[in-house]
Chain A
Amino acid sequence: MARTGTPSALNKYSGIIFAVTLFLVFNLAVLALNFYTSSTLNNDAVSINLAGRQRMLSQRTTKVLLSIQVDAAQGQYNDKNTAELKKVASLFDTTLNGFKTGGTVVGGDEKPVGLEKVNDAIAVQSVDEALRIWQPYKKLLEPVINSKVIDETSLDAATFYARENNLKLLKLMNDLTSQLEKNTKAKAGNLQLIQTIALVLSLLLFANIVFNALRKLRAADGEIEKAQRETTEILNTVKEGLFLLDPQLAVGSQFSSSISKILQHDISANIPFMPILEGLVSPEIYSSAKDYLDLLFGNKVKENLMRSLNPLTQVKVQAKSDVAPRYLSFQFNRVVEEKRVLHLLVTVQDVTEQVTQAEELMALKGQSSINLGLLSKLLQADVFQLRQFLNNVHTGLEAVNVILANADKRSANHEDLANQCFRIIHAIKGEASVIGLDAIETHAHQFEEHLVLLRKKSSWDAQEILSLPVMLSAMLEQISRIETIVNLIQSHHESANTVQQQPSVSTRVGNNLLRLTEQVSKNQNKNVQLKLNLALLDEMDTKTANQLQQIGIQLVRNGICHGIEPTAMRLTKGKSAQGEISISAQASPEGVIDFIVRDDGQGIVPSRIRAAMLTSGRYSNETVDQLSDKDIVNKLFEPGFSTANNTDKDAGRGVGMDLVQSLVNEIGGELKIDTKPDVFTQFTFRIAKHASPSINLNATEAFA
């Protein structure tokens, strides 16, 4: 709806304002006309009055004149009569002249009064005729008035003239009066007509104003009604939940009808919002949402800065009536007036479908394609190392496949089969971890977990038998995707002539072990330094070097997880804060080669292993008691033995030492353990002399 401000309000009401002004001006004009007419009528009344007096004066003049004559006949002279004659004749004369020319005359109350000259033709004619008769009359009267004695001659002449003309004069004055009265009546009639017309017009104007005002009001009401109806329609049809929150956190009077369904709660005006939210979300989210709303109602922080703080942007909810959890998205916008937050406009959407789809998509991406993280790892990694790794994985997975294909031909039981597969997969996992290929490490870890389940079963059903090649296939698919990328990277390097210098075997193995140490000690929250002396590896064939690397991987991992103590414990033992693991390949003058891995950790202590075996709950008291210290240490090399309480990627499967033993057997030689509680553990692998042909002093074998 448009905002109603002052300028538009003026526009809107201009019609009415104009009509009212017109009404007032018109009424004032009528009033002025009234004043004017009534003053004219006043003047007319004076004229009529004086004309009437002229009638009387004409008769009085004649009467006084005749009285003087009667007196004279009797020889008498009354000066009173003469004085009266003078007075009435003078009054008649001045008034008659007044009618002719206009001017001040003596009024009925002996006071001067303004007399307007007559304009009407008939009246003018009457006045002119009267003057024509009066002028000689006046002259004849003058000697009579002025004589102090009886002047019969003058008197007779005047009387004679008076008798001749008295009636004419009376008639003329009568005519004048009638004409003036007639004129005035006509004027009054006009005034009445004007007043009537003015009244009618004024009523019409007023009616117009009222009609227009009512029409405008009705139109405005209609607009408001329409706007309200539209708002209601919007609120009834919109899918999102919309409502206003007041500073007391109560819901406003208007809200969308979908809100009750979205919140799974009946919503009515003024219902408190927080208890509804409390029923939907966890207490932690509830409390941070409360803080957030308080912050929004405070005016201090800018709204867009706070958006990222909204704990309800995507929140998991489960109302009592919800079968499964849903995801809702709440958005809050301030409604500000005069810099004060009046309300919050709340928009709620059910985003369960989007969230579920996004999750499915993520899962799908993880399954079927190379994710970006893996890709960046591949780009960073050394291509030779990757090739080496992929070759090893292929060899390993093919070995697993051979084990599966020959499963029923051998007399081996399922447990052995699982253990054999386990060692290979574990080695792949270790190597993947060393070069940082988390995706493969995770895949191998899942494969391991599956093998752990199968290892426990005495017989496998069709599904379990089938599950192994299916997992194998999935891993092969993953590897082949990585191979494709590695090929691309390599061909890119070749075309760009940026073929990397192939690092020496000792450098490669050293770097791998350093990376592993960094990663595992970070995972285990330990502080470990790795010291290397592996130059001798450069003189060995690739296979042996790889096998020794594999042994190194397992022993370094075990050293960090089980040997090196946490920093705090090392300090209480008076050791340096940083643990140390050293790996070296040394040749004696007699040509005997020792591969030594040593850590300055807590050592292998049979009593501690016994305790850990009991704590793990996998061994009974009896079993543990029956074992000698040597047996206990030998246990470390059994498949599935572990003292770690929790299984994670680094430790706990109990296959590391088993793998070391099987690698030692493959290369040929003997493994010796030296250990002192709280001081060190050293594994010395003395490579058998009969294995010496594997030493190649001019090793240049390429990784095919």
Chain B
Amino acid sequence: MSDLSEKDIEIFIEAIGGYFKQITQEAASIGVAYLAKNAFPLNDFTGMIRVSADYDGALYFSAPSAMLRHLLTVMKETNQSEENLLDAVGEIANTISGNARKYFGENMVISIPEKIAGLASMLNEQSRRHAYVIIIKWKHYSASLIVDISRLR
């Protein structure tokens, strides 16, 4: 079992950065990056994709509701129901999986994103001993990208 490379992780970050830049004309940036064990810094809404084949684990994009509401506003979406907020976080997860598919090819099988509201931060199914936590900043909001993926082959 080995680690993802720096470049592999950047693919996910670039996907998020690119999404915000395209939708809001304002790029998202990285605040901090560190390792997390067991306790993930999850927010109100989380989009999750699972990976398999040569890889194992999952990837989470978790954003606070305020950030998603702001995003919907920028997108001129007035319906800010929980359903729509989940859709927004799901769309970002979708973008990440699209980019990942392009980059990793058939070596990484990627599931359809799951959208979860109020996911517990204590996960008992962590893949890696330490997952990567990357705090993504957009405007004054902070979302987290959690990469809990290990390479099997």
Contact = CB atoms under 8 A, between A and B. Distances in A.
Interface of A: 368, 401-402, 404-408, 462-463, 465-470, 472-474, 476-477, 480
Residue of A404, A406, A467, A469 with most partner-chain B CB within 10 A: A469
B33 A469 contact: yes
Contacts, number: 62
Contacts of B33: 404, 465-466, 468-469
Contact of A466 (B2, B6, B129): B6
Nearest to B150: A477
Nearest to A405: B34
A198 B17 CA distance: 113
Nearest to B41: A405
- A interface, over-half SS: helix
A26 B29 CA distance: 114
A15 B129 CA distance: 88
B117 interface: no
Interface secondary structure of B, over-half rule: strand
A468 B34 CA distance: 8
A466 B130 contact: no
Nearest to B9: A466
A401 B17 CA distance: 24
A463 B32 contact: no
B145 to A, nearest CB: 11
A476 B130 contact: yes
Nearest to A470: B6
Given A405-B133, A463-B10, A466-B10, 9 more contacts: A401-B35, A404-B33, A466-B6, A468-B34, A469-B33, A469-B35, A470-B6, A472-B35, A473-B132
A655 to B, nearest CB: 22
Contacts of B35: 401, 404, 469, 472-473, 476
Of the candidates A405, A462, A467, the one having the most CB atoms from chain B within 10 angstroms of its own CB is: A462
A175 B30 CA distance: 150
Contacts of B6: 463, 466-467, 470
B34 A469 contact: yes
B30 A477 contact: no
Given A463-B10, A474-B3, A408 B31 contact: yes
Complex A-B, nearest 8 residue pairs according to Cβ-Cβ distance, in ascending order: A405-B34, A404-B34, A462-B30, A407-B32, A470-B6, A469-B33, A408-B31, A466-B33
B134 interface: yes
Contacts of A408: 31-32, 135
Nearest to A404: B34
Nearest to A471: B6
A462 B13 contact: yes
Given A405-B133, A469-B132, A476-B129, A462 B29 contact: yes
Given A462-B13, A480-B129, A473 B3 contact: yes
Nearest to A368: B2
14 contacts: A401-B34, A405-B133, A407-B32, A408-B135, A462-B10, A462-B29, A465-B32, A466-B13, A469-B133, A470-B6, A473-B3, A473-B35, A476-B130, A480-B129
A368 to B, nearest CB: 6
A473 B133 CA distance: 12
Contacts of A406: 32
A465 B129 CA distance: 20
B144 to A, nearest CB: 11
Contacts of A465: 30, 32-33
A419 to B, nearest CB: 17
B96 to A, nearest CB: 15
Contacts of B34: 401-402, 404-405, 468-469, 472
Given A368-B2, A408-B135, A476-B35, A470 B9 contact: yes
A465 to B, nearest CB: 5
Contacts of A368: 2
Contacts of B133: 405, 469
Nearest to A480: B129
Interface in B1-59: 2-3, 5-6, 9-10, 13, 17, 29-35
Contacts of B5: 470
A100 to B, nearest CB: 125
Interface string B107-146: 0000000000000000000000110111100000000000
Contacts of A404: 32-35
A532 B13 CA distance: 53
A405 B35 CA distance: 8
Contacts of A480: 129
Contacts of B2: 368, 477
Contacts of A468: 33-34
A314 B134 CA distance: 47
Nearest to B13: A462
B9 to A, nearest CB: 6
A402 B37 CA distance: 12
A465 B6 CA distance: 10
Given A401-B35, A466-B10, A467-B6, A473 B30 contact: no
A452 B6 CA distance: 19
Nearest to B142: A408
Contacts of A469: 33-35, 132-133
A473 B127 CA distance: 14
B23 to A, nearest CB: 19
A466 B134 CA distance: 8
A462 B135 CA distance: 11
A408 B31 CA distance: 7
B130 A473 contact: yes
A368 B134 CA distance: 24
Contacts of B132: 466, 469-470, 473
B3 A466 contact: no
Nearest to A477: B3
Contacts of A476: 35, 129-130
Contact of A470 (B3, B29, B135): B3
Contacts of A463: 6, 10
Contacts of B17: 462
A467 B13 CA distance: 13
Contacts of A470: 3, 5-6, 9, 132
B121 to A, nearest CB: 14
Contacts of B129: 476-477, 480
Which of B13, B34, B133 has the most chain A CB within a 10 Å cutoff?
B34
B45 to A, nearest CB: 22
